[in-house]
Structure formats: structure tokens, C-alpha cells
Amino acid sequence: MDGENVTVVTHFVLLGLTETRELQLVLFALFFIIYLLILAGNVLIMVTVVNDRRLHTPMYFFLGNLSFIDICHASVTAPKMLADLLSAEKTISFGGCVAQLFFLHLCVCAEIFLLTVMAYDRYVAICHPLQYPTLMSLRACTWLVGALWSGAIIHSLVQTVLTVRLPYCGPNVIDSFFCDVPPVIKLACTDTYLTGVLIVSNSGMISLTCFLALLGSYLVILVSLRSRSVEGRRKALSTCGSHLAVVALFFGPCIFIYTRPATSFSLDKVVSVFYTVVTPVLNPVIYTLRNQEVKGAMRKLRERQIFS
């Protein structure tokens, strides 16, 4: 196989979360409910933001985009995971595996960039309120969303190309419940050290850079709040607190997985479940339970539907 770049493997076998049948059924019921909650909760936020004119602001525009990304993110892995929990043979074609890791990185990177943009939005709103209407106009917000999706596509293409260019001639067993770059490149029948370094540099640097930018934004915000009134400080901290909770829940697992070379950690599956399934269902809860405007808009939307 030296000197050739021929893909011999036509499919991969996923080991899944567990081999115990009883536990598989329990996990299927649990994750099926969670997936339904992800769809329902995030669709509800999107519909609420669209239907309530008071929520037609940059912050809620980005929140609606976050809900859309969460639905896409969970849908990349959850349906296949649910099907495999009921199936005896957990296989995925080579093309399906490549597509899954491409869209996974697309959604993850888009969410990382969006959370960074949301932090910038809060920074401008709190630290530069007079310039806020100009700096965060609808045109500017649309350009920011377009830019984050463009950046996510470029990142995902880089990850996919680095993975596909490797030769795969067996084995074909992936110790996970979905296709991701680190477990897939371990199956390549060539030295993947340089590829692993490039992947860690690409994914890890994006995660760390955006995370540090987020921390910097909120440090500046906290310093600027010292001169505000108690009520203004409370309102700002409430909004920023929701965002920080989402950031911590999402960036923690991403940094754990993508800032180190691929190794066999049993904890990887737990962390992967958390950021692919659990985080998308927590985001609507965090933003609605701590946000009076969203809860009020949802209440009015429900009353309008009842009386109509």
C-alpha cells in the first residue's frame, strides 16, 4: 500500500455506547425523549422570535440562529445513534461516515463562531450603547451570520479533506457512536502523526481562540458594569449569565476532545454524548428560564393560538 492512496474500506462498524441489550433499550428511550425535546424546544424558540416583533433585535436574531444550529447539530448524530441502539449491526458506509463528520464539524464550528458573535453583541450593547444601532444593524447581523457559516464551511472542508486523503485498508471498527475525525484517522493504514497535529491545530486553535475572545469580552463587560446602577447591573448580568452557561457547557467538551492528539479515553464517549445531545436540549432551557422577555413572548404566543 506504500505510495498508493486507495480507499479499500467501504464501510465502518460503530461500537456504539454499550453492548448490553437492556441498557441499549434504556438509552434509546432516554435519547429519543431528549431528541424530541431538542426539536420541540428549539423550534419553539425560533417560532417565538419570528412571531413577536419585540424580539426582532440582534440578540434574539442570534438566539434564533443558535436554535437552528442546535437542531442541525443534534440531527447529525442522534437519528443514527437511535437507529443503532435498536440494531444488531451498527454499520455506516464510507461516504455516510465522511458526510457525518463533515456536517458535524460544520455545525460545531458554526456554533462556536455564533457564540463568539453573541458575546460581541453583548459587549457592544453594554459598553457602547450609543453605537449599538449602527454597529449591530440588521445588515451587520446578516453579514456576521454569513461570515460565520462561511468560516464553518472552510473549517469543515479542511477537516474532511485531511481525513479522506488518508488510505483506509482495515481495520474498520470505530470505537464511538458516530463518525468524527479523531477516531476515524486512527484506522488509516499509514502514519497519521502529522495529520493529527494539523487537525488538533485547526480545531483546537479555533476553540481556544474563540473561548479566549469570549472571556476577554466578558471581562471587559464586568469591569464596565461597576459604574452602572444596581438594576442595570442585574439585567446585564442576567443576560450574560445565560450566555456564559451555554458557553461553558459547549466549549468545555469541545476543548477536551479537539485540543489533544487522538487517544483512547473511555471518557470520550460520555463527553461526546454531552456536547452532541445534551447541550442542544439545555440551551432552550437556559435561555427561556432566565429570560423574562422570551417567556412572556411564548405565553402570548400560546394564548394567541388558544383563542384563535
Q: Which residue has better confidence, 83 or 292?
A: 83
pLDDT of residue 42: 92
pLDDT in tens, 13-42: 998 888 888 999 999 999 999 999 999 999
Question: Contact at 8 Å (CB) between 236 and 226?
Answer: no
Which range of 142-156, 184-198, 254-268 scores highest in mean pLDDT? It is 142-156
pLDDT in tens, 219-248: 888 888 777 777 667 767 776 777 777 777
Instruction: Say what the pTM is.
Output: 0.87
Alpha carbon 68 to chain centroid, angstroms: 10
pLDDT of residue 193: 84
Q: Which residue has better confidence, 229 or 68?
A: 68
pLDDT of residue 96: 94
Give the CA count within 13 Å in the CB-facing half-sphere of 203.
32
Let me know if domain 11-307 sits in CATH 3.90.1150.10: no
| Inter-CA distances, 176 with 155, 184, 258, 283, Å | 22, 10, 15, 24
pLDDT of residue 258: 64
The values of phi and psi at residue 91, to 5°, are -120, 160
pLDDT of residue 190: 87
Q: Is the pLDDT of residue 263 over 90?
A: no
